[in-house]
């Protein structure tokens, strides 16, 4: 078992989940609610049986999987079910799932009766290295990612790497984009260690280092006033592409697939604006194209992308905000970019994949 101390709570790596059993015995909550989606209900919930055997009062809340369901309507359903189950302010919400479950479950708990405790048990690589750590909770609104939410820290995060065996290759690779990103923005050695790794070979020590990086960043800047903004590299354009794809493509992009496109585009902006060397840009491009499929972008979609980008949380006034690389392993935040250069970056990506 390994432990990372975060903002008043611990991130505990424990494939047995015995530490969760100890946590619950010490806290003595009045009621425990477990939020799952259909996938984690089928494939992951059984791993908590060692915990449930000692609980007198717990209930399961199930939601539909998928980013398209991370919205206010589903959140209202969670709140109503919490009421139906008699949850009080001394209840605990256990969020067992990927980023949709941990984001929305955290938000539902943070706002129900002005806040009840919650813990995160992330079951996907994406949620283990990103969504479950740092205290961001939220839901989407009108295709805009995580625009409604809070900064609320969990009581603990329990990471069981065995859950990754339940993922298909596409889901696992999607989460790998965030591991690569952590290397790009903060740790050149991590990037070099993972850029040619087979995704199925990702080891617990790589996951631990990726979580450690995110924790080091958010512990210095919990509410994203400064340094934490570097975690958004690739996300300004990537989130816009993800939001567009979600409601316009028959097979929408997963989060990691969209931010892989975003990181190539924003890598280009980094080369133009913050000094990312051309050879490092080319290395970044080769890495992402080795893992992720090309995404066909049409010029007529640019207006839709800009509509989404202009609603991004990082913007100031009408200026679109970015985090950009100065080199692999170093990132600059509060970089504001005009539309003309953003269009140039999208054109660069379109031309790149057409060769």
Q: What is the CATH number of the domain that holds 334?
A: 1.20.1090.10
Q: Are residues 182 and 304 in the same domain?
A: yes
Percent of the chain past pLDDT 70, that is, above it, reads: 100
Q: For residue 140, what is the enclosing H or E element?
A: strand 136-141
> d(Cα 115, Cα 132) in Å, to the nearest integer?
17
> d(Cα 50, Cα 46) in Å, to the nearest integer?
8
What is the average pLDDT across 323-331?
Answer: 98
**Domain residues for 278?**
169-354
In a 3-state reduction of DSSP, which class is residue 199? helix
pLDDT digits (tens, 9 = 90+) for 208-260: 999 999 999 999 999 999 999 999 999 999 999 999 999 999 999 999 999 99
> Is 212 noted as a catalytic residue in this protein?
no
Task: Give the tokens for residue 336.
Answer: 């504001």
Q: Are residues 154 and 21 in the same domain?
A: yes
> Is 136 noted as a catalytic residue in this protein?
yes
Q: Are residues 89 and 20 in the same domain?
A: yes
> Is 224 noted as a catalytic residue in this protein?
yes
Residue after which a domain boundary falls, among 138, 166, 194 = 166
Catalytic residue among 67, 212, 224, 242: 224
* Chain centre distance of CA 317: 25
Q: Give how many domains the chain has, as a whole number.
A: 2
Q: Model pTM? A: 0.94
Mode of pairing for the β-strands spanning 144-151 and 136-141 = antiparallel
Catalytic residue among 21, 70, 229, 235: 235
pLDDT digits (tens, 9 = 90+) for 25-67: 999 999 999 999 999 999 999 999 888 888 878 999 999 999 9
Write the CATH number for 28. 3.40.50.1970
């Amino acid at each position: 078992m390994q432990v990372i101390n975060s903002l008043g709570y611990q991130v505990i790596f424990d494939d047995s989940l015995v530490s969760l059993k100890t946590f619950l015995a010490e806290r003595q909550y009045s009621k425990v609610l477990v939020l799952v989606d259909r996938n984690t209900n089928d494939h992951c919930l059984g791993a908590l049986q060692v915990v449930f055997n000692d609980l007198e009062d717990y209930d399961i809340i199930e939601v539909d999987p998928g980013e398209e369901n991370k919205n206010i309507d589903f959140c209202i359903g969670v709140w109503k079910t919490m009421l139906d189950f008699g949850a009080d302010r001394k209840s605990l919400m256990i969020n067992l799932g990927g980023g949709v479950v941990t984001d929305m479950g955290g938000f539902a708990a943070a706002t129900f009766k002005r806040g009840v405790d919650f813990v995160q048990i992330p079951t996907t690589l994406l949620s283990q290295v990103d969504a479950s750590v740092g205290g961001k909770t939220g839901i989407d609104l009108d295709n805009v990612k995580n625009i409604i939410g809070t900064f609320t820290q969990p009581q603990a995060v329990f990471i069981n790497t065995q859950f990754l065996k339940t993922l298909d290759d596409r889901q696992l690779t999607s989460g790998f984009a965030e591991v690569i990103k952590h290397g790009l923005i903060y740790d050149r050695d991590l990037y070099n260690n993972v850029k040619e790794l087979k995704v199925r070979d990702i080891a617990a020590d790589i996951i631990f280092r990726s979580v450690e990086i995110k924790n080091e960043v958010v512990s210095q800047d919990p509410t994203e006033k400064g340094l934490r903004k570097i975690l958004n590299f690739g996300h300004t354009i990537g989130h816009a592409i993800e939001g567009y794809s979600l409601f316009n493509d028959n097979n929408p992009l997963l989060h990691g697939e969209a931010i892989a496109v975003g990181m190539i585009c924003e890598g280009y902006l980094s080369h133009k604006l913050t000094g990312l060397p051309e050879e490092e840009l080319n290395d970044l491009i080769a890495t992402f194209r080795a893992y992720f499929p090309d995404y066909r972008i049409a010029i007529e979609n640019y207006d839709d992308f800009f509509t989404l980008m202009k609603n991004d949380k990082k913007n100031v006034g009408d200026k679109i905000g970015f985090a950009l690389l100065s080199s692999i392993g170093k990132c600059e935040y509060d970089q504001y970019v005009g539309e003309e250069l953003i269009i140039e970056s999208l054109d660069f990506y379109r031309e790149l994949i057409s060769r």
